Amino acid sequence: MDKTKAIHNAVKAGLRVNPLVNDSGITVMNMDGDVTLTGVVTSYPQYLEAAAAARRVAGVRNVHNHLEVVLLPHDYRDDAMLTTEANNTLRANVTVPDSVEAIAHNGNLTLTGPSPPPRSSRTRWTTTQPPPTAARSRSTPTATR
């Protein structure tokens, strides 16, 4: 078996055994280690994981991910539901400033608020010293030994 066919088969096998990917809608094309994924997946995590699985195959030089994400009907969120879920998720993350808000319009999510300050190589946080943004009204878990 030639190298191109071996890479193609290995990528297909990697997608097939990956429990995070439904490979039934994915087509794999390989040209000398340049792998192209086309087809449909039902979630963005599947989209990312399919490309990651292809990159793990020996001999793959580049992965071109042309998969389309098509949500299942029960996964659909209208703009109001999407806005609410996104803002609840932001509020649950103590590293996100309270001034950051999510707004959905036609299925597109936009975050508004201040830009984060530039990261300093000297800024280090330990489990016993939470970052200043954690000192809000939200409860934050404490590290235990």
pTM: 0.60
Give the residue-averaged pLDDT of 84-112: 90
**87-91, 104-108, 138-142: segment of lowest average pLDDT:** 138-142
Contact predicate 69/43, CB 8 Å = yes
Sheet of strand 26-31, all strands in order from the earlier edge strand to the far edge:
26-31, 34-41, 62-69
Please write the tens of the pLDDT for every residue from 111-145.
Answer: 998 766 666 655 554 444 444 444 333 434 444 44
- d(Cα 40, Cα 110) in Å, to the nearest integer? 25
Q: What is the pLDDT of residues 24-37, one digit of tens each?
A: 999 999 998 999 99
DSSP 8-state symbol, 117 = P
- In this predicted structure, the answer to whether residue 5 has a pLDDT above a threshold of 80 is yes
Q: How many Cα atoms are found within 13 Å in the side-chain-facing hemisphere of 76?
A: 6
Encoded tokens for 8: 């193609």
Q: Which residues pair with 33 in a beta bridge?
A: none
